[in-house]
Chain A
Amino acid sequence: MVGGGLAVVTLRNIIHSAVAMMICFGSLAGMYALLGAPIVAAAQVLIYLGAISVLILFAIMLTQAGDANLPAPFHRQLPIAIVVALAIVGLVGWAVVQTDWGLAVEAAGAAVDEIATAIFTEYALPFEIISLLLLVAIIGAIYLARRPEEDERAN
């Protein structure tokens, strides 16, 4: 999975990067299943592997001019980016290693029907807010992605 993630940021061809992203997300779904969260694993497969990957692949196909001359993949910020990313990994990794996880024992995962009940009772308000957020996002995306010519015709 980490290999897939590394491939995402290092491969030169952006379509290869997107496929590596799908591999990475797929193995993340496996990790969720290992952690006893089958509903999150299923949502990962549906949302990320199914929806977001296809969306990103479509965006790449729409914008790719043709891969005859691939531009240099990296910014001139590359050295700073390496340093900052290593600093983040080092700092958080150090915190993870230093912490005493003595109390942490693997608990049994919650059953799917329990989670469903919790979403619609205890977490009903966030659920509704998220549905509103998704609606707003869809409308905003349609507005943004509209071609300017159509804009003039509408006026």
Chain B
Amino acid sequence: MGIQGYLIVSTILFGIGAFGFMARRNAILMLISIELMFNAVNLSLVAFNAFLPPDANAGAVFALMIMAVAAAEVTVGLALVIAIIRTRQTPEVDQYSDLKE
């Protein structure tokens, strides 16, 4: 499989993540979809590093850094979601309508 195959898989995964983020109603599932998009970008970075390396280590180091940032993001995101669910008693995002006019 060439670089195209990996990039297309990554694109499809990113599309699935974007779709899940926009279409699902559960706040935790929206976070999972964000993780899917992170992973898609990570896959494309590692694929570029394997096929068109600017420097043999850059892609792997980038991917590791992105994983660390994603871990930080999901920690804060889940804490926020749990705090919201505790106050609103529902994980459904379309019922969070306090700011609606």
Interface residue ranges, A against B (CB under 8 Å): 1-2, 5-6, 8-9, 14, 17-18, 21, 24-25, 28, 31-32, 34-37, 39-40, 43-44, 47-48, 51-52, 55-56, 59-60, 62-63, 71-78, 80-82, 84-86, 88-89, 92-93, 96-97, 101, 103-110, 114-115, 118-119, 122-123, 126-127, 130, 133-134, 136-138, 140-142, 144-145, 147
Query: A28, A93, A140 — which one has the most chain B CB atoms within 10 A of its CB?
Result: A28
A52 near B6: Cβ-Cβ < 8 Å:
no
In the complex, A27→B88 CA distance in Å? 36
Distance of A55 Cα from B81 Cα, bound (Å):
12
Residues of B within 8 A of A (CB): 1-4, 6-9, 11-20, 22-26, 28-29, 31-33, 35-36, 39, 42-43, 46-47, 49-53, 56-57, 59-61, 63-65, 67-76, 78-83, 85-86, 91-94
Report whether B13 and A63 are in contact in the complex, using a CB–CB cutoff of 8 Å.
no
Min C-beta distance of A92 to chain B, whole Å:
5
Which chain B residues border A17 with CB–CB below 8 Å?
A: 29, 32
- Asked if B67 contacts A2 (CB within 8 A), the reply is no
Residue of B nearest to A105 (CB): B51
Counting residue pairs across A and B whose Cβ atoms lie within 8 Å, the total is: 232
Flag if B57 contacts A21 (CB, 8 Å): no
- Pairwise interchain contact B82-A62, C-beta atoms closer than 8 A: yes
**Could you tell me if B50 and A81 are in contact, using CB atoms closer than 8 angstroms?**
no
Q: Is the CB of A5 within 8 A of B16?
A: yes
Distance of A71 Cα from B27 Cα, bound (Å)? 13
